[in-house]
Amino acid sequence: MTGAEFGVHEWSPEQLRRAVMAAGVALWAWDFESDAFTMDAQGFDLWGLEWRKVVTFEELSAKIHPADRYRVRSAFMATRAMLGPHETDFRIVVDGTVRWVAARGQGGGGRPIDRTVFGIFLDVTGRKQAEEGNELLAGEMSHRVKNLLSIATSLTSLSSRSAASAEEMANELIGRLTALGRAHDLVRPLPGGQGNAALLGDLITVLLAPYDDLGAFKGRIRVAVERMGVGKTASTALALVVHELATNSMKYGALASPIGTLDVSSISEGEMLVITWLERGGPQVEVPDRTLGFGSQLVQRSVAGQLGGTIDYDWNRDGLIVTLKVSRARLAL
């Protein structure tokens, strides 16, 4: 019984050529005694070389990424004594661009009659970039989760010392962790090479959004700040500061009144960004006890330690005015 009767297809050379072209496979052969390296047209395109009948392995080695060159040369040299298939992935540099190449070959085990190694090259740049992206994302998520767990542990420990009851501790802790979650949700890659950041206006607006629904009219909270990116570390610190200010305003300030308003604006002072928190329409403001509670201590630490700035309070009778000066360089971190 013939192969055709079993449904086995007889491939013509033209069909094989089309299949190889469609798969993006580059064919090569290497005579390791003469160092003659032959490739098809796809191979020369992949390596960024003008087509010619023969190149040398040394010529190709010059295009291999310096970090991979020794490993690849060793792997190819080892095929002289290897019987059977071998494979290796490596980078090449073509016109300043890095490409990932998968090399697959069949060695002859060093027998005199098998001095030529045959194989294929395959451009796997897309796959490698996807793998690197996944690894980067996994590392980033791990880093962010560890940071959040560390912050949550610290907040829990400090809140337990300052809260008068378990219920008060739970409410304060939930509020602070929720603010952190909102801030981290906003951190994303920005265009123009600005890195991973949240836009300052978006960050403040989202953090204050829950309080805007609690008054007699929506829109009583207005945010007009400079358009700039805030990095991951700064986002965490700024989220804690905004949450503490908003919580205090809900208890004692303008946000405690249905008709109270809050305006958040910014101006530039050289290397510093000045953010003004202006409350109006709330109950008459009274200067609080000088003793700093946990929330106030947290704000001071965040502003001075992570944002490289200062925070000042003006207990104006018409409403609290908070002036927050932060380092532009620290905001980007």
Torsion of CA 255, 206, 320, 252, to 10 degrees: 40
Distance CA 29, CA 177 (A): 61
Interhelix angle for 125-162 vs 294-301, to 10°? Answer: 140
Q: With 60 as the cut, is the pLDDT of residue 290 above it? A: no
Identify the residue with better confidence: 252 or 213.
252
Q: With 80 as the cut, is the pLDDT of residue 32 above it? A: no
Report all structural domains of the chain as residue ranges with CATH numbers, in order of start.
Answer: 13-123 (3.30.450.20), 128-331 (3.30.565.10)
pLDDT for 221-266, tens place per residue? 898 988 888 887 788 788 878 878 887 887 788 887 878 889 999 9
Identify the residue with better confidence: 146 or 299.
299
Q: Quick one: pLDDT band at residue 141, thresholds 50, 70, 90?
A: low
Of 40, 110, 114, 38, the C-alpha closest to 77 is: 110
**pLDDT at position 264, please?**
93
Burial class (CB in 10 A: 0-12, 13-18, 19+), 158: middle
Distance CA 89, CA 28 (A): 15
Looking at the chain, the whole-number percentage of residues with pLDDT higher than 90 is 5
Q: Mean pLDDT, to the nearest integer, of 147-170? A: 62
Angle at 28 between CA 59 and CA 48, to 5 degrees: 50
pLDDT for 62-117, tens place per residue? 888 888 888 888 877 777 666 667 788 888 888 888 888 888 887 655 554 567 78
Torsion of CA 292, 293, 297, 300, to 10 degrees: -60
**pLDDT at position 1, please?**
43
Identify the residue with better confidence: 140 or 185.
185
Mean pLDDT of the chain: 75
Identify the residue with better confidence: 136 or 313.
313
53: tokens are 């009948």
Identify the residue with better confidence: 152 or 174.
174
* pTM across the whole model: 0.47
Range list of H helices, the chain:
13-23, 41-47, 57-61, 66-78, 125-162, 166-186, 200-212, 232-252, 294-301, 328-331
